[in-house]
Structure 1
Amino acid sequence: MGYYPIFLEVEAMPVILVGGGHVALEKIGRLVDAGADVTVVAPELIPEVREFIDAGRAKWTARAFEAGDTAGYGLVMVATDDGEVNRSVADEARENGILVNAADDVANCDFILPSLAKKGSLQIASSTGGGSPAMARWLRERLEDFLSDDVVGLADLLAETRVEIRAMDRQCAARCPRTKTPPPLLCEDCPNRIPVERWQEAINGGVFDLVQQGKMDEARTLLKERLQRSELTPAPWWTTEEETVR
């Protein structure tokens, strides 16, 4: 079976989590950290799951799953070791057109959860397609070693610079009388457009070395130079010397 990799926006999404044990604990942390509106349905909770309820980070329906419980939810997560419960929840979710995941029960899953290495703003997901959880953990541990403070610092620098440049691009595209694309996109032939390849060349062109040395200001300057947008004040062909987009 093939899977399509995706990062799902769950901010404020109502999510039902069926089960209150250790498997549920593995799910609830990531969900609430991503901003999901989680409701746990289970007769009992282990203390660690109960902490999320007591802290107001999730809600609890203190009973077993009942028919109709999935209605109104955007995502269904099942964390029980009862195959019959898993099947009942999955069947109802699918009837309602809701994606469902049942832990360690591929037959009752529309998607599987990857092994995740996370630090700062970076997340790297890996999966063996459910074939080897041990291998997935092995990969995660090595990816966590790779995600050093320097790598996170580089990611933050690139993100900040991109926001700056996109703000300039938005002004450029909005004012260009020959634009073929809506703001904030630039035309393919716009001299201010930065190809993806140039970003990659900038990363490989000494910027990361400066980040590793803690020279963030120098890294920022070099990045903009490598991108050929050092002044971050694009002057498209239609501007005059007195009318530079800022």
Structure 2
Amino acid sequence: MTLLPLFLDLKEKQVLLVGGGSVAQAKLRSLLPTGVTLRAVATRFSADFRLEAEGHPVHLLERPFEAGDLDGTHLVVSATNDPEANARIASQARQRGIWINAVDDPPSCDALFASTLRRGPWTLAISTEGAFAGLSRALRLALEDLIPDDPDLQALVDLRQQARRLPPEVRSRALQKLLADFRTAYFPSPRPSTPELP
């Protein structure tokens, strides 16, 4: 089975994060910039988790997970490090038709977090569909070196918006030239090797 990669607009959507340790903190860091309405429930939140959440609209509930925590939720992220708890939470979420991500527990997942690289207006996402998260991170790190954080990337998007005012045939040629220049600047083709003489 192949998973469908999607980018979700979570702005003002209810998201529940279960867990309060370092794994949950990493998911918290991914969720905060999306504008979610976030609730976190855990029997204990680490000092680092609390520090990460500080100054953000995160509602912390320091107690065990309860089925009622799912009320009004669009997405659940279970970062408990407890496969049995993940499976129980996943089962209850699925009964309600709520997407579930259980960290490092693919059988309990309907949604997986990708390793992401953000460059200006672009987000690149890499996933091994839960098989080897470390490999996704390694590929992202390689891409970080390949694609610099360059303000010209936003300028390309701005130029595309301006090109919308051009007649279709002119716009098409202009955008093709723009993309060709982009490829040459960021991904120059290697020189063809000289064939060896017989």
Band of TM-score, shorter chain: 0.7 to 0.9
CA distance in 2 between partners of 1:205 and 1:102 (Å): 42
Give the aligned partner of residue 110 of structure 2. 110
Distance 1:98 1:6 in 2: 16
Give the aligned partner of residue 36 of structure 1.
Answer: 36
In structure 1, runs of 5+ residues without a counterpart are: 170-189, 212-246
Deviations 1:152-210 (A, max 9, x none): 52x211211233344x47xxxxxxxxxxxxxxxxxxxx646733x7523322147975x
1:123 aligns with 2:123: yes
CA RMSD of aligned residues (A): 2.3
Q: Which residue of 2 aligns with 1:199?
A: 175
Over 3 Å counting, the alpha-carbon distance change for 1:193 and 1:95 in structure 2 is farther
Give the AA of the match of 1:164.
Answer: Q
- Check conservation: 1:17, 1:40, Cα contact below 8 A: yes
Q: CA deviation at 1:133?
A: 2.2
Structure 2: how far apart are the matches of 1:146 and 1:114?
A: 19
CA contact (8 A) 1:116 1:126 kept: yes
Indicate if the aligned counterparts of 1:118 and 1:144 stay in contact, CA closer than 8 A: no
Corresponding residue for residue 48 of structure 2: 48
Partner secondary structure for residue 69 of structure 2: coil
Deviation at 1:135?
1.7
How far apart, CA to CA, are the structure 1 residues paired with 2:183 and 2:81?
Answer: 49
Q: Identity of paired residues, percent?
A: 33
1:164 equivalent in structure 2: 162
Partner of 1:88: 88
Change in Cα spacing, 1:191 to 1:26, as seen in structure 2 (3 Å) is closer
Deviation, structure 1 residue 132: 2.1
Q: Which residue of 1 aligns with 2:194?
A: none
> Per residue, is there more strand in 1 or in 2?
2
Count of residue correspondences: 186
Alignment of 1:148-227 (within 5 A): 148-150=148-150, 152-153=151-152, 155-166=153-164, 168=165, 191=168, 194-195=171-172, 199-205=175-181, 209=185
- Asked if the contact 1:94–1:100 (Cα under 8 Å) also holds between the matched residues in 2, the reply is yes
1:13 corresponding residue in structure 2 = 13
TM-score scaled by length of structure 2 = 0.83
Superposition map of 1:227-238 within 5 A = none
